[in-house]
């Protein structure tokens, strides 16, 4: 993430003092990422919206507790998102990500849709989404966090409750498997 | 960490997924909701506590309503971070966890509304919610979900429409001013009937047979509501003051167009009778004889209703005929055969008796 860590720390400090505007800034910085992270787990835009909303509300409630100690907002938000998805699966008895939905229909802005249809990247997007959906959740999660959301290994370790070493190994393994899937599909 | 070229290419593809983002409208609307929610927390910290506030809230409503159940429901809404849950419930569909809460909240709103006119308008809004839900049923993923949702939505819709009918009827009986409300109900109910008819075609074809009856009944209930409201409006025109002729003319004109549309492709001598009534209505309308025009429309509607009833009866009879199975035919044949044999025996017996005699 490109936003300076100082800016985030300042925002966090203001939020912990109960500043709603600071939290609104955090929302703007993170909403797309949290939504995306959840979306790749639940594969449904309405559910992703609901869960993303829940993440921001829960995070606020946590941050304004006097006893809360947060050093890393990135990790907190993704951890909360992950927990919300786990609870969601438990309550709804649902399986995890199902492949196959039309990617382009999820990109709501019609102008974006048209543009993507017109350029090759649109087709590539659909392909990569299909490929990534074939991975098991653990691998998919780590690739999204590391390469899409650009979290550090330490941050990912906090989110996934693993060691940084395990994250390194897993991300390497996940990338290899994804590469194999892509190569296999290109050979067909 | 040094990455191989192939790894870099794979990572580049992963980054394409950045294009998946939430809907702008949702993002913006949730942002506003989030800020309003978190500002309440900021305010509550400084002023009276939530518990004190809730206590005052319950007490004032209990005195007015004498309905603890409603108070409890409203308190539940407050304690459940109110706006978020309420908004989530608003978008819920039959089968969702929050749908029952959505319906309960609608009922609670009616209970705590004291103005009769506003109550009826709320009921119209809730019937419209059913139409919006019906429109979204086609987006449900499986035919079974669609079928179940249609059953729930059409049943609730008929209940809502019945409540509206009863409400307007009550107001009319109490001689309260009802023209304005009846006019809205007439227009709105007709529109809802049209929407139901239009949206049924979007449902999965595999379930149409199973849900057709429920949808037909819902459409009919909306049309009946529109017809009743129209009659009540015309009666009020006679009794209330300050109702403009133009408003009533427009209602009558709209109804004329609706009936013409309904019968345009029907080839039946009764349809000709309807057309005749319509022409009469148009003539009286042009003479500003609004009561007369409305009476002609009433008669036209009665003819249409009887045509519809006859068609239903015919369909039911056809269904019954198709239930007669080949087994029944064979049984008749057997019975006839037995009867013939009995007659033959009787003739033979008679001949023997004659011979003996």
Ordered DSSP codes for B188-228 = HHHHHHHHHHHHHTTS-GGGHHHHHHHHHHHHHHHHHHHHH
**Pick from A45, A56, A148: CB nearest B14:** A148
Q: Give CA–CA dist B64/B67, Å, rounded.
A: 8
In this predicted structure, what is the pLDDT of residue A183? 87
Q: Give CA–CA dist B77/B355, Å, rounded.
A: 100
Above 70 in pLDDT, residue B50? Answer: no
Using a CB-CB distance cutoff of 8 angstroms, which residues of chain B are in contact with residue A116?
Answer: 19
Q: Give the list of residues 6+ apart from residue A77 with CB closer than 8 angstroms, or none.
A: A30, A34, A55, A59
In this predicted structure, what is the pLDDT of residue B56? 45
Chain A interface test: which of B4, B15, B20 (most A C-beta within 10 Å): B20
Q: In chain A, which segments carry CATH 1.10.10.10? A: 107-188
Q: How far is B78 from chain A (nearest CA, A)?
A: 15
DSSP B112: T
Phi, psi of B304 (to 5 degrees): -60, -40
Place of tokens 């400090």: A13
The per-residue pLDDT for range A3-54, each reduced to its tens digit, is 556 778 888 888 888 888 889 999 999 999 999 999 998 888 889 999 999 9
In this complex, do B17 and A125 lie within 8 Å of one another by their Cβ atoms? yes
Using a CB-CB distance cutoff of 8 angstroms, which residues of chain B are in contact with residue A103?
Answer: 20
Window from A147-156, B101-110, B322-331 with minimum mean pLDDT: B322-331
In this predicted structure, what is the pLDDT of residue A26? 94
In this complex, do B17 and A36 lie within 8 Å of one another by their Cβ atoms? yes
Q: Give CA–CA dist A82/A77, Å, rounded.
A: 9
In this predicted structure, what is the pLDDT of residue B128? 87
In this complex, do B34 and A148 lie within 8 Å of one another by their Cβ atoms? no
The most confident of A39-53, B109-123, B192-206, B330-344, by mean pLDDT? A39-53
Helix B245-263 to helix B290-321 angle (10° resolution) is 30
Q: How far is A70 from chain B (nearest CA, A)?
A: 19
Ordered DSSP codes for B48-75 = S-HHHHHHHHHHHHHHHH--HHHHHHHH
**Pick from B10, B23, B38: CB nearest A182:** B10
Kindly state the percentage of chain B with pLDDT values over 70: 72
The per-residue pLDDT for range A109-139, each reduced to its tens digit, is 555 555 555 555 567 787 888 888 889 889 9
What are the tokens at B342?
């009995």
Window from B17-21, B73-77, B334-338 with minimum mean pLDDT: B334-338
Closest CA to B278 of B265, B268, B262: B262
In this predicted structure, what is the pLDDT of residue B234? 87
Using a CB-CB distance cutoff of 8 angstroms, which residues of chain A are in contact with residue B91?
Answer: 46
Above 60 in pLDDT, residue A148? Answer: yes
Phi, psi of B312 (to 5 degrees): -65, -45
**Pick from A19, A116, A128: CB nearest B17:** A128
A107-188 CATH: 1.10.10.10
b/e per residue A108-141 (b: at least 16 CB within 10 A): beeeeeeebeeeeebeebebbbebbbebeeebbb
**Pick from B19, B30, B38: CB nearest A107:** B19
Kindly state the percentage of chain A with pLDDT values over 90: 31
What are the tokens at A131?
């490929």
Q: Give the list of residues 6+ apart from residue B241 with CB closer than 8 angstroms, or none.
A: none
In this predicted structure, what is the pLDDT of residue B345? 52
Closest CA to A74 of A164, A176, A167, A3: A3
B interface toward A at CB cutoff 8 Å? 6-7, 10-11, 13-24, 26-27, 30-31, 34-35, 37-39, 41-42, 45, 81, 84, 88, 91, 97
Residues 70-129 of A with CB under 8 A from B: 91, 103, 106-109, 112, 116, 121, 124-125, 127-129
Q: Tell me if chain B has a CB within 8 Å of the CB of A150.
A: no
Q: Give the list of residues 6+ apart from residue B219 with CB closer than 8 angstroms, or none.
A: B193, B196, B197
Helices (H), B138-207: 143-173, 179-200
In this complex, do A124 and B10 lie within 8 Å of one another by their Cβ atoms? no
**Mean pLDDT value across residues B39-63:** 51
Using a CB-CB distance cutoff of 8 angstroms, which residues of chain B are in contact with residue A50?
Answer: 88
Helices (H), B91-142: 99-111, 116-137
Closest CA to A146 of A165, A124, A168: A168
Q: What is the residue extent of each domain of chain B?
A: 29-112, 115-243, 247-314
What are the tokens at B60?
């004032």
Q: How far is B265 from chain A (nearest CA, A)?
A: 39
Helix (H) or strand (E) holding B81: none
**Mean pLDDT value across residues B130-136:** 87
Q: Give CA–CA dist B91/B132, Å, rounded.
A: 10
The most confident of A50-64, B165-179, B186-200, by mean pLDDT? A50-64
Using a CB-CB distance cutoff of 8 angstroms, which residues of chain A are in contact with residue B13?
Answer: 124, 127-128, 131, 182
B159 vs B117, more confident:
B159
Q: In chain A, which segments carry CATH 1.10.1740.10? A: 1-97
Place of tokens 């001013």: B177
Q: Give CA–CA dist B280/B260, Å, rounded.
A: 13
**A37 close to A144: Cβ distance less than 8 angstroms:** yes
Given the candidates 3.40.50.1970, 1.10.1740.10, 1.10.579.10, 3.40.50.10860, the CATH classification of the domain at A1-97 is: 1.10.1740.10
B4 vs B29, more confident:
B29
């Amino acid at each position: 993430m490109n936003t300076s860590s100082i800016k985030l720390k300042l925002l966090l400090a203001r939020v912990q003092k109960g500043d709603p505007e600071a939290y609104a800034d955090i929302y703007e910085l993170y909403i797309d990422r949290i939504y995306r992270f959840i979306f790749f787990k639940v594969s449904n835009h309405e559910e992703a919206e609901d869960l993303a909303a829940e993440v921001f509300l829960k995070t606020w409630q946590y941050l304004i507790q006097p006893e809360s100690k947060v050093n890393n907002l990135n990790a907190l938000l993704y951890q909360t998102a992950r927990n919300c998805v786990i609870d969601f699966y438990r309550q709804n008895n649902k399986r995890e990500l199902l492949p196959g939905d039309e990617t382009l229909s999820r990109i709501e802005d019609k102008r974006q849709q048209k543009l993507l249809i017109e350029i090759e990247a649109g087709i590539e997007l659909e392909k990569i989404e299909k490929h990534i959906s074939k991975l098991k959740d653990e691998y998919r999660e780590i690739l999204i966090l590391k390469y899409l959301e650009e979290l550090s290994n330490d941050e990912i370790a906090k989110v996934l409750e693993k060691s940084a070493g395990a994250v390194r190994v897993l991300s390497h393994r996940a990338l290899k498997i994804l590469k194999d899937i892509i190569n296999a599909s290109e050979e067909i | 960490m040094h990455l191989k070229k192939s790894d870099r290419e794979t990572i580049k593809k992963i980054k394409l997924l950045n294009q998946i983002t939430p809907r702008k409208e949702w993002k913006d609307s949730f942002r506003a909701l989030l800020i309003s929610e978190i500002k309440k927390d900021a305010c509550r910290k400084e002023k009276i506590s939530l518990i004190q506030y809730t206590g005052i809230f319950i007490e004032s409503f209990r005195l007015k309503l004498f309905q603890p159940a409603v108070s409890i429901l409203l308190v539940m809404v407050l304690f459940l971070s109110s706006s978020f849950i309420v908004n989530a419930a608003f978008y819920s569909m039959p089968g969702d966890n929050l749908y029952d809460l959505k319906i309960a909240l609608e009922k609670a709103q009616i209970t705590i509304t004291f103005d009769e006119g506003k109550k009826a308008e709320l009921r119209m809004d809730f019937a419209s919610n059913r139409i919006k839900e019906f429109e979204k049923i086609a987006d449900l993923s499986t035919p079974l979900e669609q079928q179940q949702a249609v059953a729930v939505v059409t049943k609730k819709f008929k209940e809502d429409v019945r409540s509206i009918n009863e409400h307007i009827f009550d107001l009319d009986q109490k001689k309260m001013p009802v023209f304005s409300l009846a006019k809205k109900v007439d227009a709105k109910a007709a529109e809802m009937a049209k929407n139901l008819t239009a949206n049924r075609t979007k449902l999965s074809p595999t379930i149409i047979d199973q849900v057709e009856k429920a949808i037909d009944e819902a459409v009919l209930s909306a049309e009946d509501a529109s017809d009743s409201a129209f009659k009540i409006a015309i009666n009020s025109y006679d009794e209330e003051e300050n109702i403009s002729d133009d408003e009533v003319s427009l209602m009558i004109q709209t109804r004329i167009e609706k009936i013409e549309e309904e019968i345009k492709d029907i080839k039946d001598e009764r349809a000709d009778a309807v057309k005749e009534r319509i022409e009469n209505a148009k003539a009286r309308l042009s003479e500003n004889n609004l009561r007369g025009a409305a009476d002609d429309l009433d008669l036209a509607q009665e003819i249409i209703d009887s045509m519809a009833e006859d068609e239903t009866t015919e369909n039911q009879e056809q269904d019954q005929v198709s239930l007669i199975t080949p087994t029944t035919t064979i049984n008749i044949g057997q019975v006839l055969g037995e009867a013939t044999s009995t007659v033959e025996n009787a003739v033979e017996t008679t001949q023997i008796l004659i011979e003996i005699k």
